[in-house]
């Protein structure tokens, strides 16, 4: 990355809601107020000012095929400082910490248990997936294969993941088989700033770089990634504003460095909320082991 150039520009991100289902309404209608993976990833079938000769095709294109062509058209015709990308936001599967919090209650979790390494039986430092979380990842993987096969949903051209173990494993479970089946290379990039909102909970402390390299050797770890976790502290919570600013920064890195139009981010519940806020959109919650798709317009503006 050209840091001298990056220092002179800022990105304004805007989520374009008109292309996908109303996630807020879906969340409101859900008993748990969380969005799950939607049929065809929530894309609304609509016209995109397509040439009239498409009507003469023997086999009409699927909605996702036409949408992908529209994204390519937008990027080709937009000014140099404007870019459109589809983000596939995947929340990790059910984690050990999620189950224990539900067991003891949120108050007891926040005030006591979350500050410990575990209960003597299980550990939730850098919390791993439960068996149910593994099954969620495998189910979502099969959903992806079907969506690509039957609905022509574009596979992500780039994969990024939080460095926390539950996201590293969810990325493998969800995307390794679909990418392999369709002949694409599986090589996710581990990015520090994609991690969950920093709290004093031990579940939000990541493992060492050596541990990540040993357990996920095919993953690329971004430059300057430290051996030890230098961000987590046992006595500090990151504010909502600080978290949104962190997600703004990581989005700027991705949009600056990556020319792909379809990008996967495997992240966390509050991380998705912060990404939505960074894109000027009201947040909603996403169920564990679910993927939502959003279209983001990025405008690069020169700093004054």
The predicted pLDDT at position 50 comes to: 65
pTM, two decimals, is 0.93
Structure confidence at residue 51 (pLDDT): 57
Name the phi and psi angles at 297, rounded to 5. -100, 130
pLDDT of residue 2: 47
pLDDT the model gives residue 49:
78
Q: What residues contact 280, with CB distance under 8 A and at least 6 apart?
A: 13, 14, 15
pLDDT at 88: 98
- The tokens for 93 are 């599967």
Distance between CA atoms of residues 230 and 27, nearest Å:
35
- State whether the Cα torsion 170-178-181-260 is positive or negative: negative
Token pair, residue 235, equals 């006595």
Could you report the per-residue pLDDT of 92-144, keeping only the tens digit for each? 999 999 999 999 999 999 999 999 999 999 999 999 999 999 999 999 999 99
Whole-angstrom distance, CA of residue 244 vs CA of residue 238: 10
Q: Please state the domain extents for the chain.
A: 84-302
Superfamily of the domain at 84-302 = Phosphoglycerate mutase-like (3.40.50.1240)
The pLDDT, as a whole number, for residue 302 is 86
What's the pLDDT score for residue 6?
46
Active site residues: 92, 196
**Can you tell me the distance from the alpha carbon of 87 to that of 216, in angstroms, rounded to the nearest whole number?**
23
Q: How far is CA 16 from CA 33, 223, 263, in A?
A: 22, 31, 16
d(Cα 85, Cα 88) in Å, to the nearest integer? Answer: 10
Rounded distance, CA 63 to CA 28, Å?
26
Give the neighbor-by-neighbor strand order of the sheet with 262-267: 9-15, 291-302, 82-91, 262-267, 158-161, 189-190, 220-221
Residue pLDDT tens, the chain, 304 long: 444 444 578 999 999 999 999 999 999 999 899 999 999 999 999 999 765 555 556 678 999 999 999 999 999 999 999 999 999 999 999 999 999 999 999 999 999 999 999 999 999 999 999 999 999 999 999 999 999 999 999 999 999 999 999 999 999 999 999 999 999 999 999 999 999 999 999 999 999 999 999 999 999 999 999 999 999 999 999 999 999 999 999 999 999 999 999 999 999 999 999 999 999 999 999 999 999 999 999 999 988 6
């Amino acid at each position: 990355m050209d840091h001298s150039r990056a220092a002179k520009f800022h990105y304004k991100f805007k989520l374009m809601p008109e292309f996908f289902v109303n996630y807020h309404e879906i969340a409101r209608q859900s008993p748990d107020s969380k969005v799950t993976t939607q049929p065809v990833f929530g894309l609304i079938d609509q016209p995109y000012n397509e040439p009239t000769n498409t009507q003469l095709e023997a086999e009409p294109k699927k909605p996702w095929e036409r949408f992908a062509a529209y994204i390519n058209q937008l990027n080709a015709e937009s000014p140099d400082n404007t870019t459109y990308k589809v983000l596939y936001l995947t929340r990790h599967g059910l984690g050990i910490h999620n189950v224990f919090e539900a067991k003891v209650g949120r108050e007891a979790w926040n005030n006591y248990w979350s500050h410990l390494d575990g209960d003597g039986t299980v550990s939730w430092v850098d919390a791993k997936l439960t068996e149910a979380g593994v099954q969620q990842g495998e189910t979502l993987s099969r959903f992806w294969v079907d969506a690509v096969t039957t609905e022509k949903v574009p596979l992500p051209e780039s994969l990024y993941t939080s460095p926390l173990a539950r996201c590293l494993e969810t990325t493998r479970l969800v995307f390794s088989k679909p990418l392999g089946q369709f002949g694409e290379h599986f090589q996710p990039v581990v990015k520090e700033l994609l991690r969950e909102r920093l709290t004093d909970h031990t579940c939000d402390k990541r493992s060492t770089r050596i541990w990540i390299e040993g357990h996920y050797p095919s993953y690329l770890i971004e430059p300057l990634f430290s051996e030890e976790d230098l961000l987590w502290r046992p006595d500090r919570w990151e504010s909502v504003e600080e978290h949104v600013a962190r997600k703004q920064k990581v989005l700027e890195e991705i949009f600056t460095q990556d020319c792909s139009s379809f990008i996967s981010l495997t992240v966390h519940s509050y991380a998705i909320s912060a990404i939505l806020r960074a894109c000027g959109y009201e947040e909603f919650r996403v169920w564990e082991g679910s993927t939502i798709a959003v279209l983001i317009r990025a405008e690069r503006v020169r700093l004054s």
